[in-house]
Amino acid sequence: MATIKPFKAVRPFPEKAQDVAALPYDVYNRKEAAAAARGKLDSFLRVDRPETTLDDRIKINDPLVYETARKNLEKLFYRNALTQDTKDCLYIYELIMDGRSQIGLVVCTAIDEYLDNTIKKHELTRADKEADRIKHVDACDANTGPIFLTYRGQESINVIVDQWRKENAPVYDFVSDDGITHRAWVIDDDSIINGLRDQFKQVESLYIADGHHRSASAVKVSLMRREANPNYTGEEEFNYFLSVLFPDEQLYIMDYNRVVKDLNGLTVDEFLKALSEKFTIEERGAEAVKPDKKGSFGLYLDDKWYLLTVKEGVYDADDPVNSLDVAILQNNVLVPVLGIGDIRTDERIDFVGGIRGLKELERRVHDDMMLAFAMHPTSIDELMNIADADLLMPPKSTWFEPKLRSGLFIHKLS
């Protein structure tokens, strides 16, 4: 049973929504974030990445950074960019990319359901990234970035959501700079809210699609608040965190590609020979290779593209984790051949979302890396099956598009 809770969202005035809405904090490095926020006084990136408004010499985890996040959030109220609803509501959030729509419910979900695994995970988190968001959430006293959750879709939920959209005008309707249409509706009718809450009681599990660090950090802040308030009832806002729930059939997972800095001391010929033990190799020259099926990979090396196809018997097709393409590459190339130690922390490897295209892989190889792997996307069924089995996917297995915008809905913890 999944619990959804209405809440009094902090959100932009309609005329300010496009100016406030920002891509998630973790899609940028510091330089990119600073450039994206420059001159945009209402951008929520100034809250999510407050170091963009500070001197470059200030370290990203300096206490001043988190104090600045709190102040920048307050400034959005002073600038009449944000307001807070006076009634507990649910919200509908639609994103349209390339004519394809996905429609989610903006709700609060229970930290206890994260802890008891009703909300299922599929990735490990890094302590340093958790620590950053814990300090950020605590300083802002708010969940500033929504957790992207999915569930096995139910037509009864879709009917209620679609009917509300049909009968009510959106409060937001704009196109962001990357061409994504964003629309939002406020559900303020208690009978509809209660109907949706009842429907979600029939949903067995929720799955984290994107936002493992945000969710883990939100839960840890909630546990800190519980410890500081031993007489808590469980109804306080800090017992819940901000989420957007999408039915699984609407989601689109893109490839999440890899770039590597060197060949681990091998020559190009030695590296290709090592690959040939597990993969068939077809040289494609300047023709970029975008894998179109499981078990195939594009390799860009020495200004040439290659199609790699895994040989039979290299992996167990019945193993839900090790049969993933990201695991096949990790277990047979990245670790044993290229000597990548910890995929999550090794500085010799980086990850490139498929939204940036194969040209970005070529650019990175010409700029600061030596080789790139183009991946076939992981499927939503693979993600759910692994989470259901209480297993973990390799890091950076999925890249979801379009990205939810931060700043459109904020959940105050007190």
Residue 344 has pLDDT above 90, yes or no: no
The closest alpha carbon to 241, from 321, 145, 350, 131, belongs to 145
In this structure, what token pair is assigned to residue 42? Answer: 């209402």
pLDDT of residue 27: 85
Task: Please give the average per-residue pLDDT across 323-345, as a whole number.
Answer: 94
pLDDT of residue 345: 86
Mean model confidence pLDDT for the chain: 95
pLDDT of residue 253: 92
pLDDT of residue 21: 97
Gap between the Cα atoms of 108 and 322, Å rounded: 34
Confidence band of 351 (pLDDT split at 50, 70, 90): very high
Gap between the Cα atoms of 74 and 68, Å rounded: 10
299-326: pLDDT as tens digits:
999 999 999 999 999 999 999 999 999 9
Residue 30 has pLDDT above 90, yes or no: no
pTM for this entry: 0.91
Burial of residue 413, with CB atoms counted within 10 A of its CB: 0-12 exposed, 13-18 middle, 19 or more buried = buried
* C-alpha 338: how far from chain center: 27
Gap between the Cα atoms of 209 and 398, Å rounded: 8
Phi then psi dihedrals of residue 69, to 5 deg: -60, -45
pLDDT of residue 56: 86
The torsion angle over the Cα atoms of residues 66, 72, 78 and 84, rounded to 10 degrees, is -70
Alpha helices in 62-152 (DSSP H): 63-78, 111-115, 127-140
Do residues 374 and 366 make contact, with C-beta atoms less than 8 angstroms apart? no
152-203: pLDDT as tens digits:
988 999 999 999 999 999 999 999 999 999 999 999 999 999 999 999 999 9
221-241: pLDDT as tens digits:
999 999 999 999 999 999 999
Q: Omega of the bond prior to 395 within 30 degrees of 0, cis?
A: no
The closest alpha carbon to 90, from 192, 176, 224, belongs to 192
70-126: pLDDT as tens digits:
999 999 999 999 999 999 999 999 999 999 999 999 999 999 999 999 999 998 888
Domains of the chain: 10-253+402-412 (no CATH), 256-376 (3.30.1760)
Task: Please give the average per-residue pLDDT across 384-403, as a whole number.
Answer: 92
Q: Other C-beta atoms within 10 Å of 311: how many?
A: 14
pLDDT of residue 389: 93
Gap between the Cα atoms of 324 and 56, Å rounded: 40
